[in-house]
Amino acid sequence: MRHFTPTNGQMMVENVNLSAIANEVGTPAYVYSAATLTRHYNVFKKAVSAMDALIAYSVKANSNLAVLRLLAKQGCGADVVSGGELARALKAGIPANKIVFSGVGKAEPELRAALSAGIFQFNVESIPELDLLNSIAVEMQTIAPIAFRINPNVCAGTHEKICTGRAENKFGVDIADADAAFERARNYPGIAVNGIAMHIGSQIDNLAPFASALTLGAGLIERLRAAGHRIETFDIGGGLGIPYHAEETAPPEPLQYGELVHRLTDGLGLKMIFEPGRMIVGNAGVLLAKTIYVKQGGARNFLIIDAAMNDLIRPALYDAHHDIEPVTTPAADTEMVSYDVVGPICESGDTFTQNRQLPEMQAGDLLVLHSAGAYGAVQASQYNSRPLVPEVLVSGDKFALIRERPSMEDILKTESIPDWV
Ligand SMILES: *Cc1c(COP(=O)(O)O)cnc(C)c1O
């Protein structure tokens, strides 16, 4: 599901030439395709259409207001993990009754804000959170609709740092303690139980972990119902993987995933909630960068580019792979060279890839890191006083800056020197 293909020797995003964006906005910059975003959402929607489904896009994957608005216009809901994300989702026009709130550490002001907004559901992750939410709801004279996020102790087989459904992870209520948690909630005046939630990890590349989690969830629901609990929703989280390598076998298609969920929950009369993030935005964006230097090191060739780990941390944080491609299609006789592609930051971890075979590049050449739409811009920082990377949205033959690059003046005006220094 790639839509960033060279036409007449130039890499295009929809009908816009990436060189034109580099000229106007500068580099590095994230560039997203509106058509691809919408298409991914609709592929997912179709895949779950046999069920009563709420698609709550995981805002943390890419929280730009323009991206959220685009999805809101398609009828998409939101899964938020902070008060800030809640504010964004509401501002983008996602109705409160399509918002679910996940996260292990929801703070009191965040719970209050979500109660005031009237969100669809709190995915409660612990007993202390349940107790606090109940007392706030009672004080506000309202009732908080909740699901318990259950930790099913399922290994998602993904990278350590994005596996969330094992007993040793911080997320959710242990499945062995679930019955007691529902019992406790039963008599709380500020709580109304909707159902259960699970989110077992991210970039999951096969269906088996989902099948395990769904089977455990369905069993738990039957047990809870037998104990007299009203269970109407099952939130199965996000986590469906996407292809990052053009050459390798791709993770399961959304359609296969949808069929699995349907098969394992059919007949339970549930409203299913899905929280896809990466699947919607990951392959809808690239990071556009420019070669600063080509340097012959002692043992390696370094391609030093103007994007760095502060702009895209996935390779440093998750050992993630991003396909890299020049914006201008190289001549057929261009030599292939083995490069370490690195950024300017003063850390050896600021390395996007090592020993990657790429067409020979020159200083000034533009290139893209593919599949950078999810967990890219949202994790960017200003480390090394590098201004936050801008974001651009393309639709057809138009494009717009949807997050600007702050000037050094903008950055410095947030800091001050006390007069006693
Ligand atoms: C991160 C997250 C998601 C989205 O995961 P993807 O792998 O991007 O689909 C969904 N739900 C919760 C609770 C999350 O923390």
Tens of pLDDT, residues 265-282:
999 999 999 999 999 999
Confidence check: pLDDT of 351 > 50: yes
Q: Tell me: pLDDT of 171 over 60.
A: yes
Span 311-325, average pLDDT? 96
Among 154-168, 213-227, 236-250, 306-320, which is the least confidently predicted range? 154-168
Q: Are 366 and 19 in contact (CB under 8 A)?
A: yes
Cβ–ligand 1 contact at 202 (below 6 Å): yes
What residue ranges in 285-378 does DSSP mark as E strands? Answer: 285-296, 301-305, 324-326, 336-342, 351-359, 366-369
76 catalytic, yes or no? Answer: no
Give residue 167's pLDDT: 79
Helix, strand or coil for residue 256?
Answer: helix
Mean pLDDT of 163-176: 86
Mean pLDDT of 245-250: 84
C-alpha 356 – ligand 1 centre gap (Å): 30
Q: Is the CB of 238 under 6 A from ligand 1?
A: yes
Residue 119, CA distances (Å) to 107, 338, 397 in order: 16, 51, 37
CATH topology of domain 34-279: TIM Barrel (3.20.20)
Could you name the CATH architecture of 4-31+282-412? Beta Barrel (2.40)
Domain with CATH 2.40.37.10 in the chain: 4-31+282-412
Contacts of 248 (CB under 8 A, 6+ apart): none
pTM here is 0.97
Do 213 and 165 form a contact (C-beta atoms < 8 A)? yes
Cβ burial 292-322 (10 Å sphere, 16+ → b, else e): eebeeeeeebbbbbbbbbbbbbbbbebebbb
Quick one: pLDDT at residue 298? 84
Predicted confidence at residue 2, as pLDDT, reads 57
- Residues 326, 262: Cα–Cα separation, whole Å: 42
Tell me whether strands 16-17 and 271-274 are parallel, antiparallel or unpaired: unpaired
Cα(353) to centroid of ligand 1, in Å?
Answer: 25
The whole-number average pLDDT for the span 50-70 is 98
Question: What is the band of 158 on the pLDDT scale with cuts at 50, 70, 90?
Answer: confident
Å from CA of 44 to ligand 1 middle: 15
pLDDT for the residue 1? 46
Distances (CA, A) of 120 to 83, 192, 280: 15, 11, 21
% of the chain surpassing 70 pLDDT:
99
In the 8-state DSSP scheme, what is residue 409? H
3 state SS of 213: helix
Lowest-confidence segment of 7-11, 178-182, 302-306, 325-329 by average pLDDT? 7-11
Average pLDDT over residues 90-115: 98
CB of 275 within 6 A of ligand 1: the answer is yes
Rounded mean pLDDT, 89-103: 98
Q: Out of 41, 79, 129, 236, give the residue to mutate to test ligand 1, the one with the largest number of ligand atoms within 8 Å of its CB.
A: 79
Inform me whether the pLDDT recorded for 400 exceeds 50.
yes
Q: What is the DSSP string of 351-385?
A: EEEEEEEEE---TT-EEEESS-SSSSGGG---GGG
Tens of pLDDT, residues 24-56: 999 999 999 999 999 999 999 999 999 999 999
Residues 40 and 46 sit within 8 Å (Cβ to Cβ): no
The average confidence (pLDDT) of the chain is: 96
CA neighbor of 104 nearest in space, from 143, 130, 85, 142:
130
State which ligand 1 atom lies nearest to the alpha carbon of 203: 7
Which residues make up the CATH 3.20.20.10 domain(s) of the chain? 34-279
Residue 320 pLDDT exceeds 70: yes
